[in-house]
């Protein structure tokens, strides 16, 4: 049985990335390197109002004074920030009005990815904002959403059409100097999605962004801003892929979520950037700052993430629970294989009374990868009767990988209860034996066990995504998931 298991583990370790194709779309670049000129050029290319340029320059000044964080349990090779192209966009011939006008190559790309960019896939009921390299390519269903007063558009469109909203909310959750990568993003971000759900509106469909890095040597810096006004609800999905390349590419994004009184935002991510090859060559550096604030009472933010890609992941979707009775949730499955490294987790900052948070993190490490959970639960003095429950489990497939847990817990009052538990183990031989006894092959048994292990998180995903996530787990742990 040992041998068979080894074989399966080898298969898992040697599986290929299925989204690694490159699309030959004519692309416009700006010169490589980063300087004040670059920042100005990006702003000019995007034809932005003055306040955006000021915002970018301020961020760039701040960034110059900052150092790359070193506290994460990651080995990050030195990144030359002058060696990256900060803006790449598929060349557009003219303004697009209907899907027929979208570059067929581009459509083919998204078709390959299985993204319902086509309005014929209307039935799937998902409105999509597709972002290729740095620029939003097409947002579907904009009109039908507009009827309800919902704004769902690319960030650059929002800057022009809704400058007041952007001014009001931009950088209100992630300040420009929050961290090194946030400052970098604030200076050079090229596009992203903007969502505004007005008071009392329940968004009738899932909103989705699909990110794709296509061009070589580029970095992707997008920014997502979601605002749910009083009593609103939205479920938002995010997915990402990139072609296979030998060099590493940088992705430094920011997601900000603002949730007002009685509103709820559910944010789901299936992250499948190119993880690099079997020898750890290439792959995306995924350094992302995601943070939401429950501003009003009874509001709720739920983060769900399935992390299978990226050479290095540095990502901590967080919730600031400011409103009384607000709720923060974090569900995560992080799979690392080969030479991948992930340092991911969450922060739950309890400020309001009766706030609740739940953290469920499942790490799966295989190959020679390192997988860390890092989390902070902070209960401030005024957050009376707050409650947190955290569970982070790690599963090890192979003896060359690592699984680590770094939870920080701070409690400043007596009426709150915080619990944390974590376990680390490998798949139990008795579990496999039990399945074998009942005629289930070892391969299927590992599949069943891994699937069951991640179920708690997968169940949190919207249906369309759950299917994709399960498929991804299947690919990432090929030959083992039934």
Partner 1 sequence: METISLDINTKIEELYDSGKEAFSSSSALINKSREEAFCIFKKSGIPTKADERYRNINLESIFRHNYNTYIKKRAIDFKIDDVFKCDVPDLETHTILLVNGWYHNADEQLTILPGGAVIGSFLEASKKYPEIFEKHYGKIAKPEEDGLIALNTSFVQDGIFFYVPDNVILEKPVQIINILISDEDVQTMPRNLFVVGKNAQAKIVVCDHTLSAQYFLTNAVSEIFADRDSLLEIYRVQNEHNGSTQISSVFIKQLENSNVLTNTLTLHGGSIRNNINVELAGRNAENQTIGLYLCDKGQYVDNYTFIDHAVPDCYSNELFKGVLDDFASGAFSGRILVRPDAQNTRAYQSNNNILLTDDAKMNTKPQLEIYADDVKCSHGATVGQLDQNALFYLQSRGIPKKEALMMLMYGFTNEILSKITVEPLKERISGMVERRLRGELSRCNSCVMTCTDKSHSC
Q: Of the candidates 317, 323, 398, 479, which one interacts with partner 1 according to CB under 8 A? A: 398
Query: Is residue 10 a contact residue for partner 1 (CB under 8 A)?
Result: no
| Options 185-193, 268-276, 318-326, 405-413: segment touching partner 1 (CB under 8 A) | 405-413
- What CA–CA distance (Å, rounded) separates 47 from 191? 12
Residues 6 or more apart in contact with residue 478 via CB below 8 angstroms = 11, 12, 15
Q: Of the candidates 53, 411, 440, 448, which one interacts with partner 1 according to CB under 8 A? A: 411
474, burial (CB in 10 Å: exposed 0-12, middle 13-18, buried 19+): middle
Q: How far is the CB of 71 from partner 1 (least distance, A)?
A: 7
Between residues 151 and 351, which has the closer beta carbon with respect to partner 1? 351
CB 422 within 8 A of CB 394: yes
Q: How far is the CB of 5 from partner 1 (least distance, A)?
A: 11
Query: Is residue 422 a contact residue for partner 1 (CB under 8 A)?
Result: yes
Between residues 220 and 405, which has the closer beta carbon with respect to partner 1? 405
Q: Of the candidates 241, 346, 394, 460, which one interacts with partner 1 according to CB under 8 A? A: 394
Between residues 140 and 371, which has the closer beta carbon with respect to partner 1? 371
Between residues 62 and 378, which has the closer beta carbon with respect to partner 1? 378
Between residues 201 and 335, which has the closer beta carbon with respect to partner 1? 335
Helix H, strand E, coil C: the string for the chain is CHHHHHHHHHHHHCCCCCCCCCCCCCEEECCCCCCHHHHHHHHHHCCCCHHHHHHHHHHHHHHHCCCCCCCCCCCCCCCCHHHCECCEEECCCCCCCCHHHCCHHHHHHHHHCCCCCCHHHHHHCEEEEEEECCEEEEECCHHHHHHCCCEEEEHHHHHHHCHHHHHHHCCCCCCCCCCHHHHHHHHHCCEEEEEEECCCCECCCEEEEEEECCCCCECECEEEEEEECCCCEEEEEEEEECCCCCCEEEECCEEEEEECCCCEEEEEEEECCCCCCCCCCCEEEEEEEEEEEECCCCCEEEEEEEECCCCEEEECCEEEECCCCCEEEEEEEEEECCCCEEEECCEEEECCCCCEEEEEEEEEEECCCEEEEEEEEEECCCCCCCEEEEEEEEEEECCCCEEEEEEEEEECCCCCEEEEEEEEEECCHHHHHHHHHCCCCHHHHHHHHHHHHHHHHHCCCCHHHHHHHHHHHHHHCCCCCC
Q: How far is the CB of 390 from partner 1 (least distance, A)?
A: 9
Q: Of the candidates 88, 174, 396, 473, which one interacts with partner 1 according to CB under 8 A? A: 396
Between residues 54 and 421, which has the closer beta carbon with respect to partner 1? 421
Query: Is residue 45 a contact residue for partner 1 (CB under 8 A)?
Result: no
Q: How far is the CB of 386 from partner 1 (least distance, A)?
A: 11
Between residues 417 and 463, which has the closer beta carbon with respect to partner 1? 417
Query: Is residue 423 a contact residue for partner 1 (CB under 8 A)?
Result: yes
Q: How far is the CB of 30 from partner 1 (least distance, A)?
A: 35
Q: How far is the CB of 367 from partner 1 (least distance, A)?
A: 11
Site string for partner 1, 62-101 (x = CB under 8 A): ---------x-x----------------------------
Query: Is residue 413 a contact residue for partner 1 (CB under 8 A)?
Result: yes
Q: Of the candidates 168, 410, 434, 452, which one interacts with partner 1 according to CB under 8 A? A: 410
Q: Of the candidates 131, 171, 418, 435, which one interacts with partner 1 according to CB under 8 A? A: 418
Query: Is residue 408 a contact residue for partner 1 (CB under 8 A)?
Result: yes
Query: Is residue 380 a contact residue for partner 1 (CB under 8 A)?
Result: no
Q: Of the candidates 93, 94, 414, 438, which one interacts with partner 1 according to CB under 8 A? A: 414
Q: Please give the C-alpha separations between residue 76 and each of 197, 245, 248, 284, 453, in angstroms, as whole numbers.
A: 38, 18, 11, 12, 29
Query: Is residue 441 a contact residue for partner 1 (CB under 8 A)?
Result: no
Q: How far is the CB of 472 from partner 1 (least distance, A)?
A: 23
Site size toward partner 1 (CB under 8 A) is 37
Query: Is residue 193 a contact residue for partner 1 (CB under 8 A)?
Result: no
Query: Is residue 419 a contact residue for partner 1 (CB under 8 A)?
Result: yes
Query: Is residue 438 a contact residue for partner 1 (CB under 8 A)?
Result: no
Residues near partner 1, by CB under 8 A: 71, 73, 379, 381, 384, 394, 396-426
């Amino acid at each position: 049985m040992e041998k068979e298991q080894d074989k399966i583990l080898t298969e898992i370790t040697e599986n290929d990335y299925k989204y690694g194709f490159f699309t030959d779309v004519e692309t416009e670049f700006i010169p490589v390197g980063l300087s004040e000129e670059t920042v100005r050029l990006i702003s000019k290319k995007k034809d932005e109002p003055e306040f955006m340029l000021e915002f970018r320059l301020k961020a760039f000044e701040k960034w110059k004074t900052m150092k790359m964080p070193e506290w994460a349990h990651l080995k990050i090779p030195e990144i030359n920030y002058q060696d990256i192209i900060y803006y790449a966009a598929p060349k557009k011939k003219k303004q697009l009005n209907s899907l027929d006008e979208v570059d067929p190559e581009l459509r083919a790309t998204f078709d390959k990815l299985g993204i319902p960019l086509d309005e014929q896939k209307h039935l799937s009921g998902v409105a999509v904002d597709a972002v290729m390299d740095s620029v939003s390519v097409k947002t579907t269903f904009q009109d039908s959403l507009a009827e309800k007063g919902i704004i769902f558009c690319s960030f650059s469109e929002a800057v022009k059409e809704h400058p007041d909203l952007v001014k009001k909310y931009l950088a209100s959750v992630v300040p420009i100097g929050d961290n090194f990568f946030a400052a970098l993003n604030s200076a050079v971000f090229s596009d992203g999605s903007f969502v505004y759900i007005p008071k009392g509106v329940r968004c009738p469909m899932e909103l989705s962004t699909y990110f794709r890095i296509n061009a070589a040597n580029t970095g992707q810096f997008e920014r997502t801003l979601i605002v749910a006004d009083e009593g609103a609800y939205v479920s938002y999905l995010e997915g990402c892929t990139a072609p296979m390349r030998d060099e590493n590419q940088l992705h430094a994004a920011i997601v900000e979520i603002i949730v007002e009184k009685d509103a709820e935002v559910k944010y789901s991510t299936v992250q499948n950037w190119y993880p690099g090859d079997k020898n750890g060559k290439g792959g995306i550096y995924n350094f992302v700052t995601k943070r939401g604030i429950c501003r009003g009472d009874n509001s709720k933010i739920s983060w769900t993430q399935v992390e299978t890609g990226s050479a290095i992941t540095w990502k901590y979707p967080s919730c600031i629970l400011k409103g009384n009775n607000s709720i923060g949730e974090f569900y995560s499955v992080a799979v690392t294989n080969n030479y991948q490294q992930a340092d991911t987790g969450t922060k739950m900052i309890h400020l309001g009374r009766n706030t609740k948070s739940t953290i469920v993190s499942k790490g799966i490490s295989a190959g020679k990868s390192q997988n860390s959970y890092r989390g902070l639960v902070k209960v401030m003095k005024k957050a009376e009767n707050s409650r947190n429950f955290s569970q982070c489990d790690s599963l090890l497939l192979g003896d060359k990988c690592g699984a680590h847990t770094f939870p920080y817990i701070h409690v400043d009052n007596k009426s709150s209860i915080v619990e944390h538990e974590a376990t680390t183990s490998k798949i139990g031989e008795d579990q496999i034996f039990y399945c074998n006894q009942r005629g289930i092959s070892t391969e299927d048994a590992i599949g069943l066990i891994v699937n069951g292990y991640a179920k708690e998180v997968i169940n949190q995903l919207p249906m369309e995504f759950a299917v994709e996530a399960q498929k991804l787990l299947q690919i990432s742990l090929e030959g083992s998931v039934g």
